């Protein structure tokens, strides 16, 4: 009887054990991380009355094998995305980065060279393809665009010919110029007939985003603020766009105006671009109520 | 007749309720909704005004949990620190609705409601959020609405750069026109001060801190400064990766897990970093959908799937936090209790 009582006391203690919580130790630094930037240097920018600084860590550039989920590979991969859209995008073809599989970076003369293995997705047809890409970010003082080479398998499978042709025929006649604004709207919504113009705006924006990209930027098109179709010229649809680009690292919204042409044969071309100044004094006054 | 009228009203509420959580709501609607949550669940929901915005509006949280005579541990969640990230307040609303809907029938949620209080702020940056609803041109507002100083005429400070956590060191701008303007000093913004004040009062009780943002599909762990590691980095990564796995299981979406300097960019003065610095062990930033196709203007038909997956991710973290605190605690208490009884029995056996 004494032993039974002892067992009865001991057993519940054993039952209320700790659930296993495995904390992975020794996971080690991520692959290719030489990343211990110098302490913060300040770059002075003087404006008219006040001195302001952009406080950034001088990013020691990653070299060697890149961690595919870390930002250097992802920023470079996004540049490849912009490049692919300038080459292959249309009102019915819009490509986005799906996944970075692997990458590496190295210094080549004054420049930074990346090699990437990626999955890209065409988001209208949902077709994905594997891509291999090489990028060269120019070094030095120049603001020139990165150079990209990419080859993809399976990405351009979707047959967009019929839709593109229909869209082209619908809009090439000059009797009904289309225009629109706030695409998508505040709720993420857009009318179905605006969608191809949204895609076209995104593709056209890729020309700017490609040119403006460097290792410290990550661009997306936030919205088509407005677009106006102009008279068709030389068999090209012509559209004036005002787009809002979102730059992730600075979190800024950057306004651009573009003149875009498109036809199924010639593809998307951007004839003119114009950066719009950030409007500091056109904010609504305080006490705006719901 | 009274009964049938009541049930008619009830089913109309339910019908609109099913649609309610698939739409974005302005600040008046969210305020009214908070009142409704309190009214419909008076025994588990109360509210607390814990600060004021620059424009003197209340900053309100909902405190949700089964009432208790003893002091309880807490989970903190805030949404809408950046005005344009509309999916975040939508998620806070969804989260509240979900735990209220399931706590009576789901044993795990019930247990957590019993042992924990959830402190949920649906909209932290109230001024900014209201401004982003003003018209289409203000939709992409991010910051607070305090005016610039010292000759700088732009409005707003980035609240998530304004906390006392390596303030002003990295990933900020000192130009008041910039989107990452960190303010004239740490906690210059009353909104950041309100959170700091609450966390300070509750710091011994808060087990986990979640701050909800969009977009990019990320789960970020402290710290935002590349040279500083959280002491429990491994644990944070393990739990974060578990949350990402739970998210992926819902709709197949990939969320990347890591410190901000690793997977996004370096930054300082974030609320997540402040929470970790004052000792809250599990502190995460959620960046919800999407990855840039719509960005901040996520379509309403994606609210539900986004909230479902984010809920799974949050629950993973909260469950881990809860079990770590309460199962270990229970084991200690039980062991102590039985050891005492055993000692008493043994000594009484010897005496006999």
ipTM (interface pTM): 0.90
Tens digit of pLDDT per residue, chain B (352 long)? 444 444 444 444 444 566 999 999 999 999 999 999 999 999 999 999 999 999 999 999 999 999 999 999 999 999 999 999 999 999 999 999 999 999 999 999 999 999 999 999 999 999 999 999 999 999 999 999 999 999 999 999 999 999 999 999 999 999 999 999 999 999 999 999 999 999 999 999 999 999 999 999 999 999 999 999 999 999 999 999 999 999 999 999 999 999 999 999 999 999 999 999 999 999 999 999 999 999 999 999 999 999 999 999 999 999 999 999 999 766 567 767 777 787 777 777 766 5
Number of neighbouring beta carbons within 10 Å of residue B54 = 20
Give the CA distances from residue A31 to residues A99, A114, A117, in Å, rounded to whole numbers and listed in that order.
17, 16, 16
Provide CB contacts within 8 A for B280, sequence distance 6+. B76, B199, B203, B206, B207, B208, B209
At residue A199, φ and ψ (nearest 5 deg) are -60, -45
Alpha helix segments (H runs only) across B252-302:
260-263, 271-277
**Mutation target vs A (from B257, B287, B292; most A CBs, 10 A cutoff):** B292
C-beta contacts of A165-172 below 8 A and 24+ residues apart: A165/A264, A167/A91, A167/A92, A167/A196, A168/A237, A168/A262, A168/A263, A168/A264, A171/A229, A171/A232, A171/A237, A172/A232, A172/A235, A172/A237
- SS3 call for A85: helix
Q: Which of A18, A35, A278 sits opposite B327 (nearest CB)?
A: A18
Does CATH number 3.10.450.10 belong to domain A161-275? yes
Residue B267 C-beta-side C-alpha neighbours within 13 Å: 31
Could B226 and A223 be called an inter-chain contact, meaning their C-beta atoms sit closer than 8 Å?
no
Residue with tokens 């600075």: A250
Chain A (219-258) residues lying within 8 Å, Cβ to Cβ, of chain B? 220-223, 244, 246, 248-253
Could B263 and A69 be called an inter-chain contact, meaning their C-beta atoms sit closer than 8 Å?
yes
Euclidean distance between CA atoms A210 and A26, whole angstroms: 39
Sheet containing A127-137: which strands, arranged edge to edge?
Answer: A64-66, A95-108, A111-122, A127-137, A147-153
Q: Which residues of B are catalytic?
A: 287
Whether residue B218 contacts residue A69, with contact meaning beta carbons closer than 8 Å, is answered with no
B291 contact residues in A (CB cutoff 8 A): 96-97
Euclidean distance between CA atoms A81 and A218, whole angstroms: 11
Report DSSP state, residue A235. Answer: T
**Mutation target vs B (from A283, A285, A287, A289; most B CBs, 10 A cutoff):** A283
Provide CB contacts within 8 A for B88, sequence distance 6+. B79, B80, B81, B82, B212, B213, B214, B288
Euclidean distance between CA atoms B229 and B223, whole angstroms: 6
pLDDT of residue A97: 98
Whether residue A238 contacts residue A232, with contact meaning beta carbons closer than 8 Å, is answered with yes
Number of neighbouring beta carbons within 10 Å of residue B50 = 16
Euclidean distance between CA atoms B298 and B10, whole angstroms: 31
Residue A71, chain B, CB below 8 Å: the answer is: yes
B152 contact residues in A (CB cutoff 8 A): 50
B238 contact residues in A (CB cutoff 8 A): 22-24
Residue A74, chain B, CB below 8 Å: the answer is: yes
Q: How far is A110 from chain B (nearest CA, A)?
A: 24
Could B154 and A223 be called an inter-chain contact, meaning their C-beta atoms sit closer than 8 Å?
no
Token reading at A186: 């505040």
Residue with tokens 């665009």: A145
Task: Please name the helix (run of DSSP H) or strand (run of DSSP E) that holds residue B114, with its range, or none.
Answer: helix B107-115
Euclidean distance between CA atoms B10 and B2, whole angstroms: 12
- SS3 call for A249: coil
Give the CA distances from residue A259 to residues A222, A283, B303, in Å, rounded to whole numbers and listed in that order.
18, 27, 34
A62 contact residues in B (CB cutoff 8 A): none
Could A9 and B341 be called an inter-chain contact, meaning their C-beta atoms sit closer than 8 Å?
yes
Prior bond of B177 cis (ω within 30°): no
Q: How far is B38 from chain A (nearest CA, A)?
A: 23
Euclidean distance between CA atoms B290 and B253, whole angstroms: 9
Token reading at B205: 């009780």
Give the pairing type, strands B172-173 and B256-259.
unpaired
Residue with tokens 């979102």: A246
DSSP states along B133-190: TT-GGGTT--S--PBP-TT---B---GGG-SSSSTTSSSEES-TTSTTB--SSTT-SH
Token reading at B301: 């038909």
Report DSSP state, residue B300. Answer: G
CATH topology of domain A71-153: Nuclear Transport Factor 2; Chain: A, (3.10.450)
Measured distance between the N- and C-terminal CA atoms of chain A, rounded to whole angstroms? 76
Length of chain A, in residues:
290
Q: How far is A56 from chain B (nearest CA, A)?
A: 5
Token reading at B201: 């009062």
Report DSSP state, residue B17. Answer: H
Tens digit of pLDDT per residue, chain A (290 long)? 455 554 454 444 443 433 332 223 333 333 333 333 332 332 333 333 344 555 655 566 778 999 999 999 999 999 999 999 999 999 999 999 999 999 999 999 989 999 999 999 999 999 999 999 999 999 876 678 999 999 999 999 899 999 999 999 999 997 889 999 999 999 999 999 999 999 999 999 999 999 999 999 999 999 999 999 999 999 999 999 999 999 999 999 999 999 999 999 999 999 999 999 987 555 555 554 44
Q: For residue B297, which of B95, B120, B141 has the smallest C-alpha distance?
A: B141
Token reading at A6: 């002892």
Provide CB contacts within 8 A for B122, sequence distance 6+. B30, B33, B34, B60, B62, B79, B80, B89, B92, B93, B96
pLDDT of residue A94: 98
Prior bond of B256 cis (ω within 30°): no
- SS3 call for B110: helix
Prior bond of B223 cis (ω within 30°): yes
Number of neighbouring beta carbons within 10 Å of residue A17 = 12
Length of chain B, in residues:
352
Query: What residues does each domain of chain A span?
Result: 71-153, 161-275
Shared fold status for A71-153 and A161-275: yes
Q: Is the dihedral of CA A250, B132, A256, A276 positive or negative?
A: negative
């Amino acid at each position: 009887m004494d032993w039974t009582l002892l067992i009865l006391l001991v057993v519940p203690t054993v039952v209320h054990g700790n659930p296993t919580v495995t904390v992975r130790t020794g996971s080690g630094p991520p692959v290719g991380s030489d990343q211990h930037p110098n302490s913060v240097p300040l770059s002075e920018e003087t404006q008219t009355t006040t001195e302001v600084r952009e406080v950034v860590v001088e990013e020691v550039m990653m070299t060697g094998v890149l961690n595919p989920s870390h930002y250097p590979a992802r920023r470079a991969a996004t540049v490849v995305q912009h490049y692919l859209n300038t080459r292959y995008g249309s009102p019915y073809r819009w490509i986005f980065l799906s996944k970075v599989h692997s990458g590496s970076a190295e210094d080549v003369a004054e420049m930074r060279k990346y090699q990437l293995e990626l999955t890209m997705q065409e988001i209208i047809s949902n077709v994905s393809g594997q891509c291999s890409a090489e990028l060269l970010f120019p070094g030095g003082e120049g603001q020139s665009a990165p150079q990209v080479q990419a080859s993809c398998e399976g990405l351009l499978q979707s047959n967009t010919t019929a839709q593109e042709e229909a869209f082209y025929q619908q809009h090439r006649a000059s009797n009904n110029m289309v225009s629109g604004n706030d695409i998508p709207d505040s709720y993420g919504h857009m009318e179905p007939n605006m969608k191809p113009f949204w895609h076209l705006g995104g593709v056209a924006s890729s020309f700017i985003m490609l040119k403006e990209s460097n290792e410290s930027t990550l661009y997306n098109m936030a919205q088509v603020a407005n677009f106006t179709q102009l008279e068709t010229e030389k068999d090209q649809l012509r559209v004036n766009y005002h787009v809002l680009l979102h730059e992730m690292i600075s979190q800024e919204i950057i306004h651009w105006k573009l003149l875009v042409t498109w036809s199924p044969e010639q593809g998307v071309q951007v004839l003119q671009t114009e950066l719009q100044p950030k409007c500091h004094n056109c904010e609504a006054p305080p006490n705006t109520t719901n | 007749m009274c009964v049938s009228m009541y049930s008619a009203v009830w089913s109309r509420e339910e019908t609109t309720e099913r649609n309610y959580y698939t739409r974005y709501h302005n600040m008046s609607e969210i305020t009214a909704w908070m009142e409704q949550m309190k009214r419909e669940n008076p025994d588990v929901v109360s509210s607390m005004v814990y600060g004021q915005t620059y424009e003197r509006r209340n900053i309100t949280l909902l405190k949700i949990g089964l009432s208790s005579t003893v002091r309880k541990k807490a989970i903190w969640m805030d949404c809408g620190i950046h005005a344009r990230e509309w999916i975040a307040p939508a998620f806070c609303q969804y989260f509240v609705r979900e735990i209220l809907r399931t706590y009576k029938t789901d044993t795990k949620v019930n247990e957590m409601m019993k042992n924990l209080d959830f402190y949920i702020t649906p909209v932290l940056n109230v001024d900014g959020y209201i401004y982003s609803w003003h018209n289409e041109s203000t939709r992409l507002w991010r910051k607070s609405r305090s005016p610039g100083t010292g000759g700088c005429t732009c409005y707003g400070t980035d609240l998530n750069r304004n906390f006392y956590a390596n303030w002003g060191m990295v990933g900020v701008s000192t130009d008041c026109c910039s989107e990452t303007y960190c303010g004239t000093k740490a906690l210059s913004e009353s909104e950041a001060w309100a959170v700091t004040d609450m966390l300070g009062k509750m710091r011994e009780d808060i087990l986990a801190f979640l701050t909800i943002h969009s977009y990019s599909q990320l789960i970020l762990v402290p710290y935002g400064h590349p040279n500083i590691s959280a002491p429990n980095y491994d644990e944070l990564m393990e739990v974060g990766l578990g949350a990402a796995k739970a998210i992926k299981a819902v709709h197949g979406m990939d969320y990347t897990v890591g410190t901000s300097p690793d997977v996004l960019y370096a930054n300082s003065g974030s609320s997540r970093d402040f929470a970790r610095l004052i000792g809250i062990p599990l502190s995460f930033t959620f960046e919800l959908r999407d990855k840039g196709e719509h960005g901040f203007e996520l379509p309403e038909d994606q609210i539900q799937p986004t909230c479902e997956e984010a809920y799974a991710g949050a629950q993973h973290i909260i469950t881990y936090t809860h079990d770590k605190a309460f199962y270990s605690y229970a084991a200690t208490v039980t062991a102590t209790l039985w050891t005492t009884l055993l000692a008493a029995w043994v000594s009484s056996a010897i005496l006999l």
